[in-house]
Amino acid sequence: MEKNASDTKGQTESELKAYVSRVGEDAREASLAMASLSAEQKTKILHAIADALEKDRESIQAENALDVVDAKQNGISAALVDRLTLNDQRYQAMVRGVREIAEAEDPVGEDIEESVRPNGLRLIKRRVPIGGIAIIYESRPNVTVDAAALCVRTSNAVVLRGGSEAYRTNSALVDSMRRASTAAGLPDNAISFVDSTDRRAVEYLIKLDECIDLVIPRGGEGLIRYVAEHARVPVLKHYKGVCHTYVDAHADVPSSLAICVNAKCQRPGVCNATETILVHRDIAKQFLPSLVDALRAEGVEIRGDEHVRAISSDVVAAGDDDWGAEYLALIVAVRVVDSLEDAIAHINRYGSRHTEAIVSSNLAAQERFVREVDSGVVMVNASTRFNDGGEFGMGAEMGISTDKLHARGPVGSRELTTYKYVVCGAGHIRE
């Protein structure tokens, strides 16, 4: 029932460091061994993981119940306790997720491009695993399983490091997955777990650039900043979603209303919900009164600039902090802009490179917005809520990247791969 082959809890700083290094080296070795797995083998392993999680459900939920009791005793917020809780419905959804990943297309080995050079050399750009991936996360224990399953699918060795509040749950989940997967042929330590709640373990792990090829932090801004500041390994992060919807001068009013309301209200607590609505001054008089009414009807608090307030006097005055705020709630900032250019400048100043939308029937305006807005995903006449792995047809996702490299937008299984060049000759030598 050991969590890793190298399973010793670090006590002193140097012991902890040596332990984390061993976890990294084991992951590197596992990642090399995974290169020989076929898609069929990985499918079988993933179903074996799902089977084990089903079989071990009661004992894992019992561990989760202990974590939840502790969390409540430690005064953790109700929202966090809720995220920590692995109830039946969530548990089943988690297992179903593994089966979906088992049945999903395997991106590894795909030839992305192929060409023949004038000298006859055949050049193939082939999709390959990244290698060792560290996932540093908080609260939601389903991340443990989602991340492990996506990494098995993509032949990456994964090193998991969840939050201390979910330690027992994550530990039990990893135990179950490790036993089942190695029995089904997954190399040892392809799924591993940093068995320490000491925060320094994270710092040591994300400096192991000889063993770990990518670190993905998932959680609050504090965690993500900590990882970004200390990592030597490349980081794929999702800071926050400060999404904008811009209603252009040439916009259909009913459609603009529907998009703005959907983008703000359909699920306000998620990262692809719109936080700021920008309205071109030429359409403001026509559009704003009905926007204010529609948002009010949904219970949204509106924080507007002076132009918005001139149209609807009981709108709250927006302060400087409202531009760029990630409310994750039924609150929206609304601003009137003089031009498309000003809308773009506002977004590039205050946005988080997550998702921006333009509503416009004018092709030139659409094209300029798409080109000049510096964001991973740009919507034209559609709600920002569509920036989502499922909506993109990717299946399971690890999150949505707000970085510019190596992946932007939803991070699915393809985004957990890289490429290598395979060059085939017939005794070619260079003149």
Residue type, 73: Q
Out of 62, 66, 69, 121, the only residue in the binding site for its own copies (CB under 8 A) is: 121
Residue 319 and residue 354: Cα distance in Å, rounded? Answer: 22
Smallest distance, its own copies to C-beta of residue 70, A? 35
Residue 255 and residue 64: Cα distance in Å, rounded? Answer: 45
Given a contact cutoff of 8 angstroms between Cβ atoms, the answer to whether 185 and 203 are in contact is no
Distance of CA 201 to the CA centre of its chain: 22
Site for its own copies in 35-64 (CB under 8 A): 35-36
Residue 326 and residue 324: Cα distance in Å, rounded? Answer: 7
- Please, which residue, 125 or 307, has the CB nearer to its own copies? 125
Smallest distance, its own copies to C-beta of residue 64, A? 31
Residue 144 and residue 139: Cα distance in Å, rounded? Answer: 10
Q: Does 316 bind its own copies (CB under 8 A)?
A: no
Out of 165, 175, 195, 213, the only residue in the binding site for its own copies (CB under 8 A) is: 213
The token duo for 17 is 């460091």
- Which stretch in 43-51, 75-83, 227-235, 312-320 sits in contact with its own copies by CB under 8 A? 227-235
Out of 139, 181, 189, 387, the only residue in the binding site for its own copies (CB under 8 A) is: 387
Smallest distance, its own copies to C-beta of residue 238, A? 14
Beta strands in 62-137 (DSSP E): 111-116, 122-129, 132-137
Residue 99 and residue 308: Cα distance in Å, rounded? Answer: 49
Q: Does 419 bind its own copies (CB under 8 A)?
A: yes
Q: Does 382 bind its own copies (CB under 8 A)?
A: yes
How many positions of this chain bind its own copies (CB under 8 A)?
Answer: 67
Q: Does 381 bind its own copies (CB under 8 A)?
A: yes
Out of 5, 80, 228, 330, the only residue in the binding site for its own copies (CB under 8 A) is: 228
Only one residue has tokens 């300029």, namely 368
Site for its own copies in 62-91 (CB under 8 A): none
Only one residue has tokens 């009010």, namely 296
The residues with which 301 forms a beta bridge, in sequence order, are 331
- Please, which residue, 108 or 194, has the CB nearer to its own copies? 108
- Please, which residue, 4 or 262, has the CB nearer to its own copies? 262
Residue 302 and residue 87: Cα distance in Å, rounded? Answer: 36
How far CA 45 is from CA of 98, 127, 259, 406, in Å, comes to 10, 21, 42, 28
The footprint of its own copies (CB under 8 A) covers 32, 35-36, 109, 115, 117, 121, 123, 126, 130-131, 209, 213-214, 228-229, 232, 234-235, 252, 255, 258-259, 261-263, 266, 348, 368, 370-372, 374-383, 385-387, 391-393, 403-406, 408-409, 418-430
